[in-house]
Each structure stands twice: as structure tokens, then as C-alpha cells.
Amino acid sequence: MKNRMIVCLCRAKNERDVLRAIEAGAETLTDLQECGIGTDCGGCHNFLRKMLGASESVSAGAFVPMPSPEAWSESVA
Ligand code: FES
């Protein structure tokens, strides 16, 4: 059940869906929206930006420990 936490309720997209979009080249919120993620209420946008920011840091070579799903949930609440 890894990466199955729903992050975009409106579009029923989970972390894995977002990570796949990022791995496929999504670099901005607009890119994710073009993949059908975060296109409705916007309630997930802060969380999506955090996921994008974490992936940018990793791709830049910096070590950024990924927060636990619980920590992510608290940070966007
Ligand atoms: S929760 Fe993602 S657009 Fe509404």
C-alpha cells in the first residue's frame, strides 16, 4: 500500500500518481494539472507544491529526507 495515500481528493489521485507524473517530467503545478491532478478545488495545491519541491531538491543532488505520510498530512492541514 506504499504511496497509496490520496493527495487529491477531487481527482482521486494518490502519491504514486503524483510521483509518476513528476518522474515523467512534471516540474510545476501546471504540469501536474495537465496530467489531471489538482484541477478542481485547489485544496491539494500546497501538498503538490511540497512534493514538487522535494523532487527538485533530490534532482539537484541534495539529500532531503522524505517526511512520513503523517508529517505530510499535518503540514498541509
Ligand atoms: S483536492 Fe485536488 S483539486 Fe481538489
Domain ranges of the chain: 6-76
What pLDDT is recorded for position 23? Answer: 93
Nearest CA among 41, 40, 42, 36 for reference residue 17 = 36
What pLDDT is recorded for position 3? Answer: 73
Nearest CA among 60, 34, 55 for reference residue 47 = 55
* Entry pTM: 0.72
* Distance, CA of 35 to CA of 71 (rounded, Å): 26
pLDDT over 70 (residue 1): no
Query: Is 53's C-beta closer than 6 angstroms to any atom of ligand 1?
Result: no
Tell me the CATH architecture of domain 6-76: Orthogonal Bundle (1.10)
61 C-alpha to center of ligand 1: Å? 30
